Amino acid sequence: MPNAERDRLRSAEWRRSRRLVALSLDDQEGRRPVFGSYDLRQTDPAWHDMIPFHEYFHGDTGAGLGASHQTGWPGLVADLIVRAGRGGASNDTDTGESG
C-alpha cells in the first residue's frame, strides 16, 4: 500500500477513534454524551464514572442505545482508549505490517 494512501487511512482511523472515545468523555458542561438525558448518571458522582459500553449510539446526541455490556464491537472502544493513551490509534506493530 502506498504511503500516502496508508496515511489517509490512518488519519481517518484516528478521527473515527476520537469520535467514538469522545462519546464517553465529559463535555464542557461535565456531561457524557453516552448517558444521554439520564440525569442520575450525568450528575451523581457514584454513577458518573461507571461508563457502559452500548451496542450502538444515537447519531445526533451520542446517547448509548441497545444492550449495555462489554462484548462484541463495543469492546473495540476500550482498545481505542488504550491506543489513544499511547499516542495514536494505530502503528505498524498493531497492524502486523513491517517496514
Q: 63 lies in which domain range?
A: 3-91
Provide the whole-model pTM.
Answer: 0.64
What's the confidence (pLDDT) of residue 44?
96
Residue 22, domain member (yes or no): yes
Give every residue of the chain whose pLDDT is below 70, as ranges: 69-74, 88-99
Name the domain count of the chain. 1
Residue 97, domain member (yes or no): no
Residue 71, domain member (yes or no): yes
DSSP 13-74: HHHHHHHHHHTTS--TTS--GGGTT-HHHHH-HHHHT----EEEE-TTT--EEEEESS-STH
